[in-house]
Structure 1
Amino acid sequence: MHKVTDLKVLYFGTPVVLIGSRNADGGANLAPMSSAWWLGQSCLLGLGNSAQTSANLLREGECVLNLPSSAMVDAVDRLALLTGNPVIPAYRREQGYRYEPRKFEAAGLTEVPGEVVRAPRAAECPVQLECRLVAARPLAGNGRCTAFEVEVVRAHVDERLLVPGSDHYVDPVGWDPLIMKFCEFFGEGRRLAPSRLAQGWRMPGRLAPARA
C-alpha cells in the first residue's frame, strides 16, 4: 500500500560531485553537491544562491566537475558543512556551516590546474570534467536556488577506468562512484556512512558520530 506523504528531501540517489571553481581573489574553491544530471556533453547543476560556487560560476563562467570514487567518502564528508562564502545565512549557520577559504587543504585533496578553464581539478578524483557555463535559470518554486547548465569541454579519466582497447568508454564495472541517497553515502554496492549533512538537516535514521 502506498502512503501520500510530503517528503522533505528528494535525494533518491545521485552521484556526488566536487565542483572546482575560482574565487574573485583567484583562490580555489571546492564544493560537494549531489544535484547533477548529464545528457550528451551537457550537465545541469542545482545550487543554492548563497553558495560561493554559484557566485563563482556566474562571474567566471566555468568550473570543473570532479567525480570522487566511493573510496573518497571521508575526504568528501570533510567538506560537507564548509562554505567558501564568508557571509553565511542564518539558516545555514543553524545547520552547522562555517567559513573555510582553503577547501582543498580541509579535504586533504590536491589542487591541479585545468587545461582549458581556470577552475581547479582535484587530482585524486578519477574523473574530472572541465566545463563552461551555458545558461543559468532560477529554479521555479524555489527562489533560493539556480539551475546551471554547463558544457563539458574536456574530460580527464583515470586510464584504469577505461574499457580495454578504448579511449572513449568508461568501464561501468570498474567505475564505483560515490552516491548520496537521503543524506547518506553509498558505494561498493553498500551503505558507507551518513553525511555530516544528515546532522545539520536533522535527518532521521542511523546516524553515526561525525568523523574527524
Structure 2
Amino acid sequence: MHRIIEPSILYFGTPVILISTRNENGTYNVAPMSSVFWLGWHCMLGLAASSKTTQNMIQTGECVLNLVSVNEVAAVNRLALTTGSYPVPESKQCRGYRFESDKFGVAGLTSMPSDTVAAPRVRECPVQLEAIVEAVHSMAEKDSAERGRFIGIEVRILRIHADEEILMGGEQHRIDPDKWRPLMMSFQRLYGLGSPAYESVLATVPESVYGNPAEKGHPI
C-alpha cells in the first residue's frame, strides 16, 4: 500500500558527472554533481546558485562534462565535501564543506586540454563532453523558500571524447552499454549498474535514426 511521504531530496537515481570549468584567475575547478539529463546533444544541469561551478559557467559560457565510471568513485568521494567558493557559502558550511583551491590535486585527477573550450577535460574519465552554455534558467520562482537557491543551465555538446575500451565493436560512434559502467547516485549513495534486467523493446530502434550530429551543426 502506498503512503504519502515528504522526503528532503528526490534523487531517485541519476548519473554522476564531474564538471570542469575555468576560474577567473586561469586555474581550474572540478566538481561532482548528478542533477543532469540529456536530450540529443543538449543537456540540462541543475546546480546551486552559490556554486563556484555555476559562477564559472555563467562567466565563461563553457564547461566539460566528464562522465564518471565506477572506477573513479574514490575521486568523487574526495571532492564530495569541497568547494571552490571562498568564503564557503553558508548553505555548504552547515553540511561540512571546506574550501579547496586545487580541486584536481585534492581529487588525484589529471587535467588535460580540450579541443573547443578553454575548460579542461579530466583524463581519468572514460567520457568527456566539451560544451557551451546555451541558456540559464531560474528555478523555483514561485516557491518563496527555494527561490534563488538553484539554477538550471542548458548546455550544447560540441565534442565528445570516449575511451576506445567502451566503444561497440565494429562501430565508430557507438558506446557499448555492456562495457560502459556509469557511477550512479540514488539518495546520496553511489551505485554501479549491473547486468541488463530485461531485453529492451526500444533498443530494437537503430541509434542512427536519431540523426547524425554532424548534420545538426555539431563538429565531430
Unaligned runs of 5+ in 1: 191-212
In structure 2, what residue type is equivalent to 1:39?
L
Partner of 1:46: 46
User: Deviation per CA, 1:108-154, whole angstroms, max 9, x where unpaired?
Assistant: 01000111000011000000000000000111243200000000000
State the Cα distance separating 1:175 from its structure 2 match: 0.2
Partner of 2:186: 181
Partner of 1:72: 72
In structure 2, what residue type is equivalent to 1:23?
N
Distance 2:6 2:192 in 1: 28
Distance 2:108 2:136 in 1: 31
Partner of 2:200: none
Which of structure 1's runs of 4+ aligned residues deviate more than 6 A? Answer: none
Partner of 1:118: 118
Superposition CA RMSD, Å: 1.1
Is the contact between residue 166 and residue 176 of structure 2 (CA under 8 Å) also seen in structure 1? yes
State the Cα distance separating 1:188 from its structure 2 match: 4.5
**Alignment partner of 1:172: what SS?**
coil
Partner of 1:167: 172
Distance 1:120 1:52 in 2: 15
Partner of 1:148: 153
More strand by share: 1
Query: Identity across aligned pairs (percent)?
Result: 48
State the Cα distance separating 1:87 from its structure 2 match: 2.1
Distance 2:74 2:26 in 1: 27
User: Deviation per CA, 1:34-90, whole angstroms, max 9, x where unpaired?
Assistant: 000001000000000110001100000000000111111111110000000112222
Q: Could you say which structure has the larger radius of gyration?
A: 2
User: Deviation per CA, 1:165-198, whole angstroms, max 9, x where unpaired?
Assistant: 11111000000000000000001539xxxxxxxx
Distance 1:51 1:134 in 2: 19
Is the contact between residue 116 and residue 159 of structure 2 (CA under 8 Å) also seen in structure 1? yes
Partner of 1:108: 108
In structure 1, what residue type is equivalent to 2:11?
Y
Partner of 1:138: 138
**Alignment partner of 1:170: what SS?**
coil
Unaligned runs of 5+ in 2: 196-220
TM-score scaled by structure 2? Answer: 0.84
User: Deviation per CA, 1:13-44, whole angstroms, max 9, x where unpaired?
Assistant: 10001000000000000000000000100000
Query: May I ask how many residue pairs the two structures share in their alignment?
Result: 190
TM-score scaled by structure 1? Answer: 0.87
In structure 2, what residue type is equivalent to 1:137?
H
